[in-house]
Amino acid sequence: MEGAEDSSVMSARKRRSRSTGHAQSKPESRESRNERIIERVRTIPEGFVRTYGDIDPGAPRLVGLVLARTHSIPWHRVVRADGSLPKGAPQRELLLREGVPMRGAHVDLREARLPPGL
């Protein structure tokens, strides 16, 4: 009985996902999404930061993965949503050299966060 219940739940989910009535846009390729993330990080000016979620609200963890695999971009200008630094002291040192305002161990996001429209 349990197997029949599982299949009816699965088919209901399929029907629901197909019946949204919205035109499905072509999914963005992984390569183009990575390129978009890299470009957004490169555009962060010295003295400012963005959060992982600012760069890609739908996939902040992907931003971290792209940063870990990509060299020669200003990775240190990307911080957590609360302003904490994922790479600790090395990241803090680079940000301080650029004049990024800090509040204790966190970036002062009210001052340093790049406005979303830029």
Structure tokens at 83: 């302003």
Residue bearing the bigger pLDDT, 8 or 110: 110
pLDDT over 70 percentage in the chain: 77
3-state secondary structure of 89: helix
* Confidence (pTM): 0.75
> Residue 27: what pLDDT?
72
Asked whether the beta carbons of 52 and 81 are under 8 A apart, the reply is yes
Which DSSP state fits 113? B
Classify residue 74 by burial, with Cβ atoms within 10 Å: 0-12, 13-18, 19+: middle
pLDDT over 90 percentage in the chain: 69
> Residue 64: what pLDDT?
97
Look up residue 30 and give its amino acid: R
Q: What domains, with CATH codes, occur in the chain?
A: 30-112 (1.10.10.10)
Question: pLDDT tens across 26-71, in order?
Answer: 677 878 999 999 999 999 999 999 999 999 999 999 999 999 999 9
Question: pLDDT tens across 5-29, in order?
Answer: 454 444 444 443 444 444 456 677 8
